[in-house]
Amino acid sequence: MEQIADTAAVVQQNITDNVEATTLWSVWSIVAISVTLFAVLALVLYIFRDKKKRRVKDKIMNETADVGFNTLNEWKKAERLYNELKRICHPDLFHDERNEIANEIFQRLTENKYRYQELLKIRDEAIEKLGIKVTDNKY
**105-133: pLDDT as tens digits:** 999 999 998 888 899 999 999 999 988 88
Q: pLDDT tier at 48 (50, 70, 90 boundaries)?
A: confident
Quote the CA–CA distance of 72 and 26 in Å, as a whole number.
57
35 to each of 43, 113, 120, how far by Cα in Å?
A: 12, 45, 55
| Pick from 71, 81, 70: nearest CA to 112 | 81
* Mean pLDDT, range 60-83, rounded to an integer: 70
Residue 4 pLDDT: 64
Indicate if the pLDDT at residue 87 is higher than 80. Answer: yes
Quote the CA–CA distance of 108 and 114 in Å, as a whole number.
12
Indicate if the pLDDT at residue 138 is higher than 80. Answer: no
pTM: 0.49
Portion of the chain with pLDDT greater than 90, in percent: 29
Q: pLDDT tier at 102 (50, 70, 90 boundaries)?
A: very high
